[in-house]
Amino acid sequence: MDVSVILPTFRRPEGLERAARSVLNQANPCGLSIELVIVDNDPAGSGLEAARALADDSTIPVRVVHMPDPGVANARNAGLAASSGELIAFLDDDEEAPPTWLCELVGTMRFYDVDAVFGPVRTRLPENVIRHRDYYAAFFARSGPDESGHIDHYYGCGNSLIRRAALPGDQPFDTDRNTTGGEDDLLFAQMQAGGADFAWSAEAWVFEDPLTSRATLKYTLKRAFAYGQGPSAACAARRPADIAGILFWMLVGAGQAVVYGVAAGFLWAVGAPRRARMLDKAARGLGKVFWGGPFKMGFYGSAVA
C-alpha cells in the first residue's frame, strides 16, 4: 500500500462523511494505492455505522477502527496501528480535501525527498459568523510559503503526510497529550531532532469547516493560550528537562502578555478591527508563562472537541 489516510472522528457525523468522501473521491492521476482508515474515538461508537456504510460503498479499501478510550493521541496511534501504507496522510473530520490533494502531497514528498509534508488549510466559516470574522478565518486557517519547498519548521498533523519509516516507533503520539493536544508538535519536534526533513506543499490545500460553537472568543482565546503553552511544555518534556529553555520561553511570554495585552486594551477601547488578534497574541504569551499543572487546557474527549 502506498498511502494510508487516517481520519480520526469524534461525534461529528456530518464532518466525517464529508471528509471521508473527499478521500474516496481523490482523482489519483499518479496511480497511488490508497486506503482510508477511519478511527471512531467515541466510547459509544456513534460513528461506526456511518463509517461502515462508507466502507461498503467504497472502491478503495476502508478500515474502520473503534478506539473507545477518548484522546487525540489514542485515536492517531490506533489509526497508525491499523494502517499498512508506506506513507501516512492525516485529515481531520472537520476538513475536506480537493480531488488532487493526495497526489500533491506525495509529489512534494518525492520531489524534495523529505520525511514529512504539510499543506495549507482554508477556513469556511458559517454564514452567521460576522463579528471578528477575519480573525476567526485566520485563526482556523494554516498559511505558509507561496511556493512548495523545503521548510525548517513543522505545522500540525491535520493535512500532513509522513513517511512511516521516519516515525519513532509504532505508537509515536504521546498519550499524555490526549486531552490537551500538542501531541503532533511533540512528535515533529522529536523527528526534527533526529534529523528529519520537512517540506511545504503549496497546492495540497484542504478546507476546514469550524463548528459555530468554535467561532467565539471564548473558544479561540482558550485555544490560543494552549498554543502558547507549546514551547515551554516542549522544553519540560525533554529528558532531562530543558530548564534554561523553560525560563527563556516564560520570559518571552511575560513580555508578550504585557505588550500585546496593553495594545489589545487600547484597540478594544477604540473598536479597531485588529483588537481580537492582539488579544489572541496576549493569550499566547500568557500560555508560555502558565504552561503546566492546573493550567493545562483540555479540548479533546467532548462533543465540541
pLDDT at residue 230 in the model: 85
What is this structure's pTM?
A: 0.90
Neighbours of 109 (CB within 10 A): 21
Where are the domains positioned within the chain? 3-214, 217-295
Q: Rounded to an integer, what distance in angstroms lies between the CA atom of residue 120 and that of residue 206? A: 7
Superfamily of domain 3-214: Spore Coat Polysaccharide Biosynthesis Protein SpsA; Chain A (3.90.550.10)
Tell me if 8 sits within 8 A of 41, measured CB to CB: yes
Q: Give 185-191 contacts, CB < 8 A, sequence gap 24+.
A: 185/154, 185/156, 185/230, 185/234, 186/234, 186/237, 187/157, 188/116, 188/154, 189/154, 189/234, 191/115, 191/116, 191/154, 191/166, 191/167
Q: How many CA atoms lie within 13 A of 8 on its CB side?
A: 26
Residues 6+ apart with CB under 8 A from 3: 32, 33, 34, 35, 85, 86, 87, 88, 89, 102, 106, 161
Phi, psi of 163 (to 5 degrees): -75, 120
Q: What pLDDT is stored for residue 234 in this prediction?
A: 83
Q: Is the peptide bond before 240 cis (omega within 30 degrees of 0)?
A: yes
What is the mean pLDDT of each successive set of 10 residues along the chain, which is 305 residues long? 95 94 92 96 95 93 96 95 97 96 97 98 94 96 97 95 95 87 88 95 97 92 92 87 96 98 96 94 97 81 46
